[in-house]
Amino acid sequence: MNSTVALSLATAGLLVVALMILIEILRLRSRGRGPQMRTSRHPRRLPFLEERLRDAFEGPVRQYGEIFVSYTVWRQDQETQLELYSADPWLRLNEFTRSIVVRHLWRALEALTKGAVVIVDSPPQRWTKEADAAFDDQGIDPWAGRQSAGSGSGSQFIKDA
């Protein structure tokens, strides 16, 4: 009887050790695979959106010249970001005019994407839905054809002192 109990305890002990080894092997394998759900940790460049956005630059370029050297569109999670690289004429525009141009580009990009849209330019200026709602454009939207009467007054460039 004692030998039967001893044999049962030894068998149970071996099963527990085998189960612990199996659990450890499964735990180590799951660590090596990474997460099952794919998450985008790094922004992804979107050349096809850059191409579709090219037409939105025509109006500002026609009116103010080559104000941007280049631009890129990036996507991360639910946010699309347009990075603008400006040229000298951009810095000569006053803040209000720069805001109108950035808002125009933001609206063009927002029409193409879902989720939040952020535009970063130099000098830094982030344009979001909140910024768009708070922006008092005085009825000026020169490239959408919704210009109000009297909106042509005032210089679009900073006056030299």
Task: Give the tens place of pLDDT for each residue, 49-100.
Answer: 889 889 889 999 899 998 888 888 888 877 888 888 888 888 888 888 888 8
Q: What is the band of 137 on the pLDDT scale with cuts at 50, 70, 90? A: confident
Query: What pLDDT digit, counting tens, does each position of 93-136 carry?
Result: 888 888 888 888 888 888 888 766 666 766 677 777 777 777 77
pLDDT value at residue 1: 67
Reported pTM: 0.58
Task: Pick the more confident residue, 23 or 116.
Answer: 23
Q: Among candidates 77, 71, 75, which has minimal Cα distance to 102?
A: 71
Contact 109, 71 (CB under 8 A): no
- Which own/partner contact pairs does 69-77 have at CB distance under 8 Å and 24+ positions apart? 72/45, 73/45, 73/46, 73/47, 73/49, 73/109, 74/43, 74/44, 74/45, 74/46, 75/40, 75/43, 75/44, 75/46, 75/113, 76/40, 76/42, 76/43, 76/44, 77/40, 77/115
Asked if the 44-134 domain carries CATH number 3.30.300, the reply is: yes
Residue 161: its pLDDT value, please? 33
Q: Which two tokens stand for residue 32?
A: 């090596």
pLDDT attached to residue 28: 80
Domain ranges of the chain: 1-38, 44-134
